[in-house]
Amino acid sequence: MPVIAVIAIFDIGKTNKKLLIFNDQFELIEQVSKRIEEIQDEDGFSCDDLMEIEQFVFSGLDFILQRPDWILKAVNFSAYGASLVYIDDKGKPLTPLYNYLKPYPDALLKALLDKYGGAERWSRETASPVLGSLNSGLQLYRIKNEQPELFSRIKYALHLPQYLAYLLTKLACSDFTSVGCHTGLWNFDKMKYHAWVELEGLSEKLAPLFPSNHKERVEYKNHSFWCGIGVHDSSGALLPYLQNTQTPFVLLSTGTWCITLNPFNNQTLTKDQLLSDCLCYLMFNGNPVMASRLFAGQEHEAQVTRIAEQFKQSKISVEESTVNLSFIPKTDLAGFEAEKGKQTPIDSLRFRSRNIESFKSASEAYHQLIFELVEIQVQSMRWVLTNEIRLIFIDGGFAKNKLFLHFLKESFPGIEIQTSEISQASALGAALLIEKISL
């Protein structure tokens, strides 16, 4: 039996947790997925089960090491952002893995912003809209103010990808991709931690910054292999495209969040962009990447459920609708006023207020839903597009949606749109980072 060297990537998403095995030509040879049920934090708010995620990592390693035809060469982690693990001086987590959707205290947020020049200035300097718990730096600030005794026991606040790597390396560190994902921690004008982080005493809880391609030699159950320090999934997803594409492009990465990333746009964010959920990420080398976000995947799921219930069909059958040009999407909605008091771009989705009973079939309703989702998606993308872009890559769930692609191509007649041929881009980016990319 031939023995091959493999690279293992744990790709930890909000919905699915995956172990992906690549050979040394970066070809995906095996995948294991697990859906881990959420638990509740001390306030009764849902959150990921950190102990189950840890168990998934170690059981995955055991699975690999038991294979006689594999030699484990390297391990790395790709995970969602805006989540911190607070460890004590023994490396043990002190809290649940708080959900980035957890409501943030208005008074606490206002006090901080007022202290540091107001929301507009804070957003511009940190290159992120004010997002409450989605600004993970604010999560640590909340603990400092609401639970000072707990704050005093925190040795480090580690971003989720770096905590997962810490399980193996015992190296507490931060990396650019996690620090730069709408945390509110980084000053994009000065390209260092923002002054408020030090002035509020948070910097002492942040682990040292390491290069994103840093790796450590790990000994585990009499096996030795390299382990990376983890990467934020959206930033990781860009790496395979940057490696393989010479033409300036944007990547539309679709999932729970649909994120448009333009690595060729180095302009400063405007007030209007920030108000429209635009932000900057940091790449593995510390360079900024302009991006826009839309909570489209989550909204799609909710509206498909409405359609399926109305027409007594499965959600799968609704989503399998093929393009039918006889369905002419409605472009108005009498009395529609959802724009008033709008909080995020997805709140302007008119379909939320449409009467499902007005459609003759589930397919007709689904055409309308996707038409309106793409309308908003296009608005989101245009905020970060630049004139030289003539290529859009789309990966994730909507890359397989024929209706979504049809309406998207109609909206960008002068730009080539390619569905990704790169399998599992975030995980592949993590593999490239540990094996191939040098800074």
CA distance 333 to 372: 12
With 70 as the cut, is the pLDDT of residue 226 above it?
Answer: yes
How many angstroms separate the CA atoms of 323 and 255, rounded? 21
Q: Is the pLDDT assigned to residue 436 strictly greater than 80?
A: no
Beta strands in 24-126 (DSSP E): 28-34, 39-40, 46-47, 70-79, 84-87
Of 353, 358, 334, nearest to 342 by C-alpha is 353
Asked if pLDDT for residue 214 goes beyond 80, the answer is yes
* Contact partners, residue 328, CB within 8 Å, separation at least 6: none
Residues 253-282: tens digit of each pLDDT: 888 889 999 999 988 899 999 999 999 999
The per-residue pLDDT for 131 is: 93
Residue 182 to residue 331: CA distance in whole angstroms: 34
Dig out the tokens for 74 from the structure: 């390297």
Q: In this predicted model, which residue has the larger pLDDT, 421 or 18?
A: 18
Q: Specify the amino acid at residue 122.
A: W
Q: Write the pLDDT tens digit of every residue in 161-180.
A: 999 999 999 999 999 999 99
Task: For residue 364, give the nearest of 411, 315, 398, 330 by alpha carbon.
Answer: 330
Q: pLDDT (tens digit, 9 = 90+) per residue, 197-207?
A: 999 999 999 99
For 39, how many CA atoms within 13 A lie in the half-sphere containing its CB? Answer: 12
**Domains identified in the chain and CATH numbers:** 4-229 (3.30.420.40), 236-439 (3.30.420.40)
| Residue 72 pLDDT greater than 70, yes or no | yes
Ramachandran assignment for 303, one of left (phi > 0), alpha (psi -120 to 50 degrees), beta (any other): alpha
Using a 10 angstrom Cβ sphere, with 0-12 exposed, 13-18 middle and 19 or more buried, the burial of residue 309 is: exposed
Q: Would the pTM count as exceeding 0.85?
A: yes
Is 341's pLDDT higher than 70? no
Amino acid at 280: C
pLDDT interval class at 339 (50, 70, 90): very low
Q: Is the pLDDT of residue 216 over 90?
A: yes
Cα 381 to Cα 276: distance, rounded to the nearest angstrom: 11
274-321 residue pLDDT tens: 999 999 999 988 889 999 999 999 999 999 999 999 999 999 999 988
How far CA 263 is from CA of 204, 237, 249, 319, 384, in Å, comes to: 31, 12, 8, 31, 10
